[in-house]
Structure 1
């Protein structure tokens, strides 16, 4: 079965999609301007997970800057004993 995706009056067929390989994004342009990027699904999912992780790390850094969420040793001992 041949799958076709329209883009700017052109057709992207399975033949073009076969050129998409893991770790090698394919950039689709129109009039020399970037329009879309076709990437391997595993690459997309990894990049998406990395982005979510970086956002969580940034949130954590902001909490640390505000000195919220940190426990001193005595507070930690009390929590562990409970």
Structure 2
């Protein structure tokens, strides 16, 4: 169950921070609307790594699709094109 608190609870910052742990975020609201999410740093790092991996996989799929649908360039043609 999400841990939702009014932003006014930050007056006692230490007690709110103690509730944050890996997999247990604290969501703060202002006037009943979501305002801030507090998340464990290790969990944030893991989420960012997963996002980077996901983006990499998408780019790899684009590259594989491009190779299948378009012609490839030989190493000699590439050298000529680059002027090497």
Please report the TM-score for the alignment, with normalisation by the length of structure 2. Answer: 0.64
Q: Which has the higher helix share?
A: 2
| Alignment-derived partner of residue 75 in structure 1 | none
Number of aligned positions between the proteins: 61
**2:38 paired residue number:** 38
- For 2:28 and 2:48, locate their aligned partners in 1 and report how far apart those are by CA, in whole Å: 20
The structure whose RCO (Cα within 8 Å, separation 6+) is larger is 2
- Rounded Cα–Cα distance in structure 2 between residues aligned with 1:64 and 1:39: 36
Flag as ranges the 4+ runs of structure 1 deviating above 2 A. Answer: none
Gaps of 5+ in 1: 1-6, 69-82
Segments of structure 2 that go 5 or more residues without pairing to the other structure are 1-6, 69-84
Cα distance 1:58–1:12, how it changes in 2: closer, same or farther (>3 A)?
Answer: farther
